[in-house]
Amino acid sequence: MDKYTSSQPLLPHSSLPERSSSKKSLALLLCLFALLALLVPSPLNPLNASLSSWTPSAAPLKNTCGQAEAIIPDVAVHDIASVWKEKDRIVSWHQGAIRVPTQVYDEMGEPGEDHRWDIFQELHDYLENAYPLIHKNLKRTKVDTYGLIYEWFGSDDSLQPLFLTAHQDVVPVLQDTVYQWKQDPFNGTYDGTYIWGRGSNDDKSGLTAIMSAIELLLQSSDFQPTRTVILGFGHDEERGGQRGAPAIRDWLLENYGPDSMSLLVDEGSGISTTWGRSFGLPAVAEKGKFNLNMTVSTLGGHSSIPPKHTNIGMTSLLVAALEKNPHPVILEEESPIWGFLQCAANYAPDMPKGLKKSVGKAQGSKKAFEELPEEVIDVGLGGDWATAGMGDMTEALLTTTQAADIIYGGVKVNALPEVVTVIVNHRINIASTPSDVISHIFNTILPVAKDLGLRISGLGQSYTPKGTLRGHITLGDAFEPAHEPAPISPTDLGTAAWRVLAGTSRGVWASRPEVSKDGKMVDLPEKEELIMAPYMGTGNTDTRRYWDLTRNIYRWRYFPDAANQGAHTINERVSADAMVEFARFYQALILNVDASRDM
């Protein structure tokens, strides 16, 4: 197994050489021809007297997936396996958090005016009662009324703090679907295997794991951090993080400054068994986001004399045009998906042979690299993360997605609708920009607008038909301004933050109860080790508000994919055992980061 070496980056970075120039390629080609001339069988070539034939072998696959050495904290400091003795308490803590229905909605007023925010005070009261040692030993600060910041002060101010984040809020439970839940969505039922309820997975699991880890660390050890640990819990991530995370960021910038955090870990992707290999897949990048508000305005009238297309019909044609013209599939060398594919080619024994061969070719051929995305989509990435109502996960990772999620218009069954609004959610590929998306939208709906006699305005776009004007399309953003894709966090082993995060994850894996009776790290066979690889989520997290605080942002949950189900839909649940391991991971991370002097 490859140990610590900065010569094996997972993704391209500034120290990597660029692909050969055309002049270098020509020189190499001439050298190859010269070599062939020497090796081709010929009576005039004495070197080939004993050669009947020669076939060049395929280029070997480059190992661009170096692995950090597995590490867990010294037992003399703290035995992280002791969290298993507290499984019942961790389950109970999580149940209590689920039972507080901190639902948020796209449109909400100010705290104090919109009473839907009031429920967060109930959660704060619960946290204070459930975790007394945290509230005794850490300093709590509230921002924007309900955002939470905890500071566990270290003894050395020269060390940059560790920043751990989660969010308190959950998506609403649609009342029309409650009957489909196997358990009450806000009861926190524990059936002996799973803990059920809205937020059990997204993201009160992170909140409980972090708080449990620290409460139990304070209870069972004399550990006092050398490096400050900061916790940040926003209260509206599910509505775009418009209030909580920005308020937390601004407070941290004022009190700690820009680029002040050594490492940020937030919710994200987890542990996936893919092609016969267990991968840890922190999301090191995040898509951009743009919510299109497209409003079509027309004249109304009595429904007994309708035009060829009512306003709703026109809007439907516009939406259909967008869906018939998806954004292009793009894979770049900087993409975490390319990094993952290279890791899989090196370590996954059941990776389809054809795809593995194509990855090897793409490492040295621009043409092969450009052809790779379509094959990846056709084959898939080996995991099954999407639910039945969703689309193709692999394609979603390689393109800008668009989803018409909200539409409303019309007020009476016998009155022609005058105003129809549709909101289309876009998740912007890391190789694209919001301006690219807006241009694509305009160019796609323009032919329809011409055919229907509709004017277009908004978002810097404009069109006026020459003939009869039937209506007006207004383009704008919904709920929040568009934002760019996130910067890609480093994954080369020369980056201490990645090395500690990846090494800790591998160490916790190698000391889990399934392989270790006493919680000590065991020497696993190479094929059973956890391989850490870069990945990317399809959604957005609060981390998009924290870019100014650190470049080392990793959206990572030490959580098997199979151990959590139902995020944003019915029957959300998490494995109780996985919750204990999640807390054990956070203890290990806090202690390992505290021991590091490279960060």
Please identify which residue in the block is written with the tokens 């990945």. Answer: 535
- DSSP per-residue codes, 82-125: GGGGGHHHHHHHHHHHHTS--B--SS---BTTBGGGTHHHHHHH
Q: Residue 486's closest CA among 435, 438, 439, 539? A: 539
184 marked as binding residue? no
594 known member of a binding site? no
Among 122, 123, 91, 88, CA closest to 189: 91
DSSP code of 303? T
Question: Two tokens at 19?
Answer: 């692909």
Per-position DSSP letters for 338-401, written without gaps between them: HHHHHHHHHH-TTS-HHHHHHHHHHTT-HHHHHHHHHHHHHH--S---S-TTS--HHHHHTB-E
The residue assigned the tokens 């018939």 is 324
Which residue among 203, 215, 237, 581 is the active-site one?
A: 237
Q: Phi, psi at residue 328, to the nearest 5°?
A: -70, 150
What amino acid is encoded at 426 in this protein? Answer: H
Q: Is 568 annotated as a binding residue?
A: yes
Helix H or strand E encompassing 407: strand 401-409
- List 169, 236, 529, 572, catalytic entry: 169
Task: For residue 167, say whether it is annotated as part of any ligand binding site.
Answer: yes
CA distances in angstroms from 503 to 252, 450, 530, 536, listed in the order given? 28, 58, 10, 20
The two structure tokens encoding residue 236: 């509206």
Helix, strand or coil, per DSSP, at residue 314? helix
- 598 marked ligand binding residue: no
CB 469 within 8 A of CB 455: yes
Q: Is 254 a catalytic residue?
A: no
Is residue 237 annotated as part of the catalytic site, yes or no? Answer: yes
Query: So which residues are the catalytic ones?
Result: 169, 237
Annotation: binding site for Zn(2+): 167, 202, 238, 266, 568
Annotated binding site: 167, 202, 238, 266, 568
